Chain A
Amino acid sequence: MSDTQAPGKHERSESAQLHRELEVVWRNPRGWRALTVVNHSTLGLRFMATGLAFFLIGGVLAMLIRAQLALPSQAFMTPDIYHQITTMHGTVMMFLFAIPVLEGLAIYLIPKMLGTRDLLCPRLTAFGYWCYLFGGIILLSSMALEMAPDSGWFMYTPLSSGEYSPGKGSDFWLLGITFVEISALSAGVELTVSILRTRADGMALHRMPLFAWYILVMALMIVVGFPPLIFGSVLLELERAAGMPFFIVEQGGDPILWQHLFWLFGHPEVYIIFLPAAGIVSTLLPVFARRPIVGYGWAVAAVIITGFISFGLWVHHMFTVGIPHLAQAFFSAASMLVAVPTAIQVFVWLATLWLGRPRMSLPMLWILGFLVIFVCGGLTGVMLALVPFDWQVHDTHFVVAHMHYVLVGGMFFPLMAGFVYWLPLVSGRMPSERLGRLGFWLTFLGFNLTFLIMHWTGLLGMPRRVYTYDSAMGWDIYNLISSVGGFMLSAGIAMVLLDLALHWRFGRPAPPNPWGADTLEWGLSMPPAPYNFASLPTIKSRHPLWDNPALGDEMARGEHALADASHGRREILGGEVLTGRVRERIHIPSNSWWPLFAALVLAVVCISLLVRLYPLALGAFLVAVAMLLRWAWENGGHPIAAPLGDDEPTSPPLHSRTRGGPARFTMGVSLIADGAFFHSLLFGWFYLWSVSPQWQLPEQSPLDPMLLIGAGIAFALGMLWLERRLRRLYAGDETRLALAFYLIAALGGLHVLLLVALLWQADLAPTDNAHDAVLVVSLAYLLVHGLLATLLMALQGRRAALGYVGVRLPMEPGVVALFWRYQLGIYAILAVSLGVLPRVIGGGA
């Protein structure tokens, strides 16, 4: 007996030692230093807690709206206040609650589901959180100052332009939302790269949890879908602050351009919100049906299709602006098509329930609520995709009801299901069935009472965003019922909050894997340690915990990969995209002040722009750039990161010692986002050129062709040289590497100087006409990228001189080269679009 116990004791001691080592490397500091935390679990929870706070504020605004509309001819609110409140309700719910809370859930769960210890760019997670928090506070402060935006949550021009909204409201919206969107983009980039490159060994794409597929597509949609709105916001703020007339018809602009840019973002956003929620459903249903999901491949195909088709629907929000019937038919057909992948998912869920042995636990109740409400919302969506019907109910409460059926049904109900389901993982306690069921039924009934009735109100012709109505219209009873339902819905949510408040003290302790789930997060301790897994598993199927229920204990005992932290680095495994086979050990950064400081300085930029203190804004912006570059400096072979040593791991090697580390993916995905911004810019140029009635091309292009060509040649020479030096570096030659990088940077500097000269000699009048305004924005875009490319290259030179880049550390120049290729590409496209095409086609076109 003692013979068999002795090794057990020894193993336990080794396991305890491993956990101690990991704790030292991964622990979260306390006190003030808690602000430096970059751990994904902590930040995911912070995202969700902040999102909950914003949700409660948005909910109070909704109740104010329902109180105002409960009876006809009410004077509870003035029209001004009512418009501010409706605008802020939509804005808060869409931008400060729905997207961030789902991002927070993904940030918290994805590494745990993929069998790794953290996301790939932990400082980016922290930076995203701080941008979200500060952007949200700036936006909400407008209400306290009684200058909240009041042009509706989609901020249509010209209502939101300087002429009709001269106050600060629109500026708060444009700057605050852009700030918050930095957060969304950060999460989009790092979730994409983390899912593609940091899955557990053997977790090939076809073995990946469905939730990760949904988040992957959502993250890519954020990367592509958010930049058009950021671009539109930049244009509108430039118009309001500097008088550049992008949306003013008399000066060659067009207000419809805003609608295109907004809905290019806005419609995909509906699916950005829906997909993670559907991912929750696809994760929970098999657990409670006690069988694998039926049609895994169908679900994956449906998610990918949704990701694409949802970008082809944006004009269906604009059917009444005067678009040709044929174009309307394109978008009408695409709007009907998007119902197909959604229907595939619904049938996958129904088939799983049909063939399984469903248990009616609390999370399932929320899922059934979702199925009922979302299917109804989807059906009214198909009705609205039909152009003649859309014309009838456009801008009525029917559309408001449809939107809430889709968004609350499609996002809030699954979110609640996921919240109840994963709560034991966070707290180690089980949710209360009794309070939870009461909360569900009040919410479900209250929701339907509010919004089912609202369809009728809309069909009877009640327009949206009117602050009151006359009793003679016949809408009284419907509005009263909706208001009563709204307060019932609030009572349901209050019940859920009460459950949450009592949970931490009175909740029953949760047993291991309390729901009998198959995914890796349930193999962790509850709550999980900051490093998640003491050792990282090898995956052989889609259901690791169903195949091996003891896997959690094995990982905790350190019986799998990377069971060592004595080196003091935070390490995770990097794998191949397709097969998940291990390629490298990725060392990720530890806690840092830089994310908080950089976000704080960006908040100063935002506030300075609001109060129009432009020198301060410029100064703060430069400080923020310096901070971000300093943050990037502490990477690779830097002493704070992973300095070169004699006994480095080789199988697999550290990622900074390879050529194709995940940093290339991160840069690549970031450039996709940048490319979406660039395409929005191109779209704006060609749109105004072909559509705006007062657009005037000058007889001769103001851009000097010699300077245009010279700037291009300087940069292309630098690019060619960089490629050549990269090949030599990879071949093992690092002679005079630093000097070469400095000289390449000098060519980048020449490119920038020639661009400045081009802008100077063009003598543009950006406040007089939209043509010159677009030229200025385009050249500024090239200048910023040229400057950044030059700066990054010069820093590479310095790093090569210090020994942070070289034959043993070859990763970084390849990453910078991607950025140089991008700059060369966009330069060529813009040179043709702005400089060559107008010469070929001629002025006055």
Chain B
Amino acid sequence: MMRRVLWLETEHPMQLVLGLTIWSLWFVTAYGGLSVVCALAPPAPEQGALTGINLVLGGLTLVTLGFLAWMTQRCMAAARRKRGRLRYMSALAGGLYLFSTVSVAFVGLPLLMLPPCL
């Protein structure tokens, strides 16, 4: 039987910070990656938003979105099943994951439209 990972339990206090930590890491990677590429090998402005860095960061955004949405769903479902403190922790975690998901989508949206280094 597969060993359960304790901190992936929906009521674990780690869930209160995990979603937003992932948002932070994604944010730093997006900004840092963009800055490094623009400093070392900026793509031509004529390419618009269709550049390698936009694609890579866009892919990373989709993967991050997928994981956060999955965790949102898990926590929300657990909150419906549980009672008392466990319900509270799962619901709170679900809300925080939902916000993290929306934040990644909202902040990542300009990747579809803007050239990276202009």
Interface residues of A (CB under 8 A from B): 204-206, 297-298, 300-301, 304-305, 307-309, 311-312, 315, 324-327, 329-331, 333-334, 336-337, 340-341, 577-579, 686, 690-691, 845
In the complex, A326 Cα to B89 Cα: how many Å?
36
Q: Does B5 contact A (CB under 8 A)?
A: no
Quick one: which of B21, B38, B114 contacts A329, CB cutoff 8 A? Answer: B114
- A304-B96 in contact (CB<8A): yes
User: Which chain B residues border A340 with CB–CB below 8 Å?
Assistant: 99
* Candidates B96, B99, B106, B118; contact of A325 at CB < 8 Å: B118
Tell me whether A297 and B31 are in contact in the complex, defined as CB-CB below 8 angstroms, given that A311-B24, A326-B110 are known contacts. no
Within the complex, the shortest CB–CB distance from B104 to chain A, in Å, comes to 10
In angstroms, how far is the closest chain B Cβ from the Cβ of A683?
9
A301-B99, A305-B99 are contacts. A579–B85 as well, Cβ < 8 Å? yes
Which residues of chain A are near B92, meaning CB under 8 Å?
A: 297, 300-301
30 A-B Cβ contacts within 8 A?
A205-B85, A206-B88, A298-B95, A300-B92, A304-B17, A304-B20, A307-B20, A308-B21, A309-B20, A312-B23, A312-B24, A315-B31, A324-B35, A325-B114, A325-B118, A326-B114, A326-B115, A326-B116, A327-B31, A329-B114, A331-B31, A333-B106, A333-B110, A334-B27, A337-B103, A337-B106, A337-B107, A578-B85, A690-B40, A845-B40
In the complex, what's the smallest C-beta–C-beta distance from B16 to chain A, in angstroms?
6
Q: Give CA–CA (A206, B84) in the complex, Å.
A: 9
Q: Report Cα–Cα, A205/B88, bound state, in Å.
A: 10
CA distance A327 to B32 in the complex (A): 9
Contacts of B117 in A (CB 8 A): 324, 326
Question: Which one, A305, A329, A577, A691, contacts B13 given CB within 8 A?
Answer: A577
Residue B68 interfacial (CB < 8 Å): no
A305:B96 contact, CB within 8 angstroms = yes
The answer for the CA separation of A578 and B110 in the assembled complex, in Å, is 39
Query: Which residues of B lie under 8 Å from residue A309 when comparing CB positions?
Result: 20, 103
A700 and B102 CA atoms in complex are apart in Å by: 46
Whether, in the assembled complex, B34 has its beta carbon less than 8 Å from a beta carbon of chain A, the answer is yes
Taking the closest CB of chain B, its distance from the CB of A563, in whole angstroms, is 28
Which residues in B have their C-beta under 8 angstroms from that of A330?
27, 30-31, 34, 107, 110
Q: In the complex, how many angstroms separate the beta carbon of A77 from the nearest chain B beta carbon?
A: 41
Contacts A206-B88, A308-B24 given; does A690 touch B111 at CB 8 Å: no
Give every chain A residue within 8 A of B34 (Cβ-Cβ).
324, 326-327, 330
CB contacts (< 8 Å) of B65 on chain A: these are: none
A-B residue pairs, 6 tightest by C-beta: A329-B110, A308-B20, A206-B88, A333-B107, A326-B114, A690-B39
A298 CB contacts on chain B under 8 angstroms: 95
Interface presence of B2 (CB below 8 A)? no
Cβ of B39: which chain A residues have Cβ within 8 Å of it? 690-691
CB distance from B98 to the nearest CB of A (A): 9
Decide yes or no: A324 and B110 within 8 Å by CB, A204-B85, A300-B92, A309-B103 being known contacts.
no
CA distance A206 to B27 in the complex (A): 30
CA of A325 to CA of B54 in the docked complex: distance in angstroms?
A: 13
C-alpha spacing A304/B96, complex, angstroms: 8
Task: Give B contacts to A, CB under 8 Å.
Answer: 13, 16-17, 20-21, 23-24, 27, 30-32, 34-36, 38-40, 85, 88-89, 91-92, 95-96, 99, 103, 106-107, 109-111, 114-118
Question: Do residues B35 and A691 form an inter-chain contact, with CB atoms below 8 A?
Answer: yes
Question: Which residues of chain A come closer than 8 Å to B23, judged between CB atoms?
Answer: 308, 312
Chain B residues positioned under 8 Å from A304 (CB to CB): 16-17, 20, 96
B85 / chain A contacts, CB cutoff of 8 Å: 204-206, 578-579
Question: Which chain B residue has the least Cβ–Cβ distance from A307?
Answer: B20
Contacts A325-B118, A691-B35; A334 near B111 (Cβ below 8 A): no
Q: Which of A305, A315, A326, A341 contacts B111 (CB 8 A)?
A: A326
In the complex formed, the residue of B with least CB distance to A206 is B88
Which of B35, B88, B106, B116 is A297 in contact with, Cβ under 8 Å? B88
* Residues of chain B within 8 A of A579, CB atoms compared: 85
CB distance from B44 to the nearest CB of A (A): 14
Residues of A close to B91: CB separation below 8 A: 297
User: Besides A301-B92, A305-B99, A325-B114, 13 other CB < 8 A contacts?
Assistant: A304-B20, A305-B96, A324-B35, A324-B118, A326-B110, A330-B30, A330-B34, A337-B103, A341-B99, A579-B85, A686-B32, A686-B36, A690-B35
Give the nearest-CB partner of A207 in chain B.
B85
Instruction: Give A329's nearest chain B residue, CB to CB.
Output: B110
B114 / chain A contacts, CB cutoff of 8 Å: 325-326, 329
Complex CA gap A307/B20 in Å reads 9
Cα–Cα, bound, A311→B26 (Å): 13
| B24 x A297 contact (CB < 8 A) | no
- Which among A309, A326, A329, A686 has the greatest number of chain B C-beta atoms within 10 A? A326
- Nearest residue (CB) in A for B87 is A206
Residues B89 and A205 in contact, CB atoms below 8 Å apart? yes
Instruction: Report the bound CA distance from A591 to B76 in whole Å.
Output: 49
Distance to closest chain B CB from A29 (angstroms): 40
* Closest CB in chain A relative to B34 CB, distance in Å: 6
- Residues in A whose Cβ lies below 8 Å from that of B109: 333
Q: Are A301 and B96 in contact (CB under 8 A)?
A: yes
Q: How far is the CB of A217 from chain B (nearest CB, A)?
A: 10
Q: With A and B bound together, what is the CA distance between A691 and B88 in angstroms?
A: 46
Given contact pairs A311-B24, A330-B110, A324 touches B95 in the complex (Cβ within 8 A): no
Do the beta carbons of B95 and A690 come within 8 Å of each other? Answer: no
Chain B residues in 8 Å Cβ range of A301: 92, 95-96, 99
Q: How far is the CA of A276 from the CA of B56 in the complex (A)?
A: 40
- Tell whether A206 pairs with B35 under 8 Å between CB atoms, given A304-B96, A305-B99, A326-B111: no
Across the interface, name the chain B residue whose C-beta is closest to A577. Answer: B13
Most buried by A among B21, B27, B91, B118: B27
CA distance A301 to B75 in the complex (A): 14
Q: Considering the chains assembled together, what is the distance between the CA atoms of A333 and B88 in angstroms?
A: 30
Of all chain A residues, which has the CB nearest B36? A690
A579, B117: Cα distance in complex, Å:
50
Chain A residues with CB under 8 A of B103? 309, 334, 337
A38 CA to B38 CA, complexed, in Å:
53
A689 vs chain B, min Cβ distance (A): 9
Chain A residue numbers with a CB within 8 Å of B21 are 308
Contact B38–A324 (Cβ < 8 Å): yes
In the assembled complex, which residues on chain B have CB atoms less than 8 Å from the CB atom of A326?
Answer: 34, 110-111, 114-118
Residues of B within 8 A of A334 (CB): 27, 103, 107
A contact residues around B107 at 8 Å (CB)? 312, 330, 333-334, 337
Q: A312–B25 Cα gap in the complex (Å)?
A: 10
Whether A205 pairs with B13 at a CB distance below 8 angstroms is yes
Query: How far is the CB of A125 from the nearest CB of chain B, in Å?
Result: 26
Give the CA-CA distance A578 to B89 in the complex, in Å: 10
Chain B residue nearest to A204 (CB atoms) is B85
Within the complex, the shortest CB–CB distance from A542 to chain B, in Å, comes to 11
A305 contacts B20, CB within 8 Å? yes
Q: In the complex, what's the smallest C-beta–C-beta distance from B108 to chain A, in angstroms?
A: 8
- Give the distance in Å from the alpha carbon of A329 to the alpha carbon of B99 in the complex: 19
Task: Give every chain A residue within 8 A of B88 (Cβ-Cβ).
Answer: 206, 297
* Nearest-neighbor residue (CB-CB) of A220 within chain B: B17
Q: How far is the CB of A303 from chain B (nearest CB, A)?
A: 11
In the assembled complex, the Cα of A304 lies from the Cα of B19 at a distance in Å of 11
CA distance A578 to B34 in the complex (A): 39
Which residues on B sit within 8 Å (CB–CB) of A307? 20
Q: How far is the CA of A325 from the CA of B13 in the complex (A)?
A: 37
B38 touches A297 (CB 8 A): no
In angstroms, Cα B23 to Cα A96, docked, is: 33
Contacts A304-B96, A327-B35, A333-B106 given; does A206 touch B89 at CB 8 Å: yes
A301 vs B93: C-alpha distance when bound (angstroms): 8
CA distance A331 to B23 in the complex (A): 13
A163 to B39, CA, bound (A): 28
| Closest Cβ–Cβ distance, residue A113 to chain B (whole Å) | 19
Chain B residue, CB-CB nearest to A338: B103
Q: Given A206-B88, A304-B16, A304-B17, is A312 in contact with B96 using a C-beta cutoff of 8 Å?
A: no
Distance in Å: Cβ of A416 to nearest Cβ of chain B = 31
Residues on B with C-beta less than 8 A from A327 are 31, 34-35
